[in-house]
Structure 1
Amino acid sequence: MTGKIIIISAPSGTGKSTIISALLDKGEIDMQFSISATNRPPRGEEQHGINYYFLSDEEFKSSIEDDAFVEFEEVYPGRFYGTLKSEISRITGEGHNVILDIDVKGGVNVKRMYGKQAISIFIQPPSLESLRARLTGRGTDAPEAIEQRLAKAEYELSFASDFDCVVVNDNLDHAIAEVDARIKNFVG
C-alpha cells in the first residue's frame, strides 16, 4: 500500500511546527517527517540522512537541473533547502504517510504535483495583530525582523484559498484537533 502526502504550510509564528509535533507525539497517524536537503554544511552533531541530506553546491544545483525536487527554495543568497522526490517516494513506497512542513508556495506546488495523493492544510492566524503579538511575545526577533515576517505573512495569507483546507489557530488545542481530524479523514 502506498502512503499519502500531508502538506502543512503557514506563515511564520502561526503554530505549524507545534501542531505537527503534537500530532507526531500522539502517534495515532502513521506518518513520517520528510528529511530535507540543503547545501549548507552540517552543524554540531547533525548527520547526513538523519537531520538533512547535505549536498554540495554542485550536487544541489545538479539536482535542480535534474528535476529531483518537489520543491526547493533559496532561503538566503546561495543557501538552498528542498524536498527530494526520492524522499517522498521512499516514505510513501514503504507504505507510510509523509508529512511536509514547508513554505506556502512550496505547499501549493507539491499539491499541484501530487493531486489527490496529497492533502494541503493551511494554518492561519486569527489576525495579523494576533500574529504580531505572538511574534513579539517570543522575544526572539528584533522589531524590524517582526515587521518583515508580518509583511511576508500578509503575502502568504493570499495563498490560503489554494489549499484543501484552512485551519485558524486561535486556540491551539482546537487547531491540533481539527488538523488531526482532517488528516485522519484523508488517510482513511
Structure 2
Amino acid sequence: MTEISRRGLLLVMSSPSGAGKTTLSRRLLAADSNIAMSVSVTTRPPRPGEVNGRDYHFITQDEFARLRDRGDLLEYAEVFGNFYGTPKRPVLEALQAGRDVLFDIDWQGTQQLAQAMPEDLVRIFILPPSAEELRERLIGRAQDSSATVAKRMAKAADEISHWPEYDYIVINDELDLASAEIYAILRAERLRRRRRVGLTQFVRELTKDL
C-alpha cells in the first residue's frame, strides 16, 4: 500500500450537554488508532469515574491563569463557572507527526481554534433528535441535580444557535449511524490535498520517468 505522509488535523465535536458527543468521541477513539483525545485542563472538580490526566488535567484557578497568561493554551473558555483550556504544545507535536487530535469543546473554544489554526480544523456539531430526547438523556445519565439539568436545558438553545459555524452537522438519533457519519468525515478530511504534504514528492517521482 502506497503511503503518503500528511499533516494531522484537529477534529472538533461540539454539542449541547446530553447530545451524545462524549459517547461518539469514545467510539471514534476506539475505532481508529491514529486519533487521540486532546486532554484539556479544567478548574472544575472531577466527576465520578474521571481520572486526572486521562479525562482532564484538574488544576487550580491560579494554575489556569498562569497557563493562559503565558500563551500556553490554544483556546480556553468559562462554562458554568469553571474554566477549560487546551494545552498548545502536545497538539502542535501531534500535527507535525501526522497524528490527528480530537476535541470535545464548546463553540467558544472552537472559535478560538478557528482563529489560531484554521487550515488544520474540522468542525462537527452534534444535535439531538428533539428537545425532549435531550432532556431525557440529561436526566438518565444521573450525574446532575434537577436544577443543573434545567440550567443545561436553558443553555442548550444558545449553544445550538452556533451550528452554522461548523463544517458538518450530525443528528445523533441512532448511535451507530451517527458514529459512521463521523468516521466518514474523518476519512474524507484526511485525504484533502493540503494535508497530504508528501504528495508533491510522490508525484515528482511518479512522473520523472514518463
TM norm structure 2: 0.77
Distance 1:143 1:54 in 2: 25
Counterpart in the other structure of 1:149: 152
What RMSD, in angstroms, separates the aligned Cα atoms of the two structures?
A: 2.5
Structure 2 residue corresponding to 1:63, chosen from 59, 67, 78:
67
Deviation of the 1:46 alpha carbon: 4.7
Q: Label 1:20 to 1:50 Cα distance change in 2 as closer, same or farther (>3 A).
A: closer
Counterpart in the other structure of 2:31: 26
What do residues 68-96 of structure 1 show as CA deviations (whole Å, max 9, x unaligned)?
A: 2121123464x532101212112212220
- The residue correspondences of 1:40-51 to structure 2 (distance < 5 A) are 46=51
Distance 2:50 2:129 in 1: 37
3-state DSSP of counterpart to 2:124:
strand
Greater C-alpha radius of gyration: 2
TM norm structure 1: 0.85
Count residues with an aligned counterpart: 185
Consecutive unaligned residues of structure 1, counting only runs of 5 or more, are none
Counterpart in the other structure of 2:179: 176
Q: Contact (CA 8 Å) 2:35, 2:101: kept in 1 or not?
A: yes
Q: Contact (CA 8 Å) 1:111, 1:119: kept in 2 or not?
A: no
Counterpart in the other structure of 1:3: 8
Q: Are 2:149 and 1:131 aligned?
A: no
Consecutive unaligned residues of structure 2, counting only runs of 5 or more, are 1-5, 192-210
- Percent identity, aligned pairs only, is 37
Q: Contact (CA 8 Å) 2:77, 2:108: kept in 1 or not?
A: no
Distance 1:106 1:83 in 2: 9
Q: Which moved more, 1:154-163 or 1:29-38?
A: 29-38
Q: Label 1:138 to 1:53 Cα distance change in 2 as closer, same or farther (>3 A).
A: closer
Q: Contact (CA 8 Å) 2:172, 2:178: kept in 1 or not?
A: yes
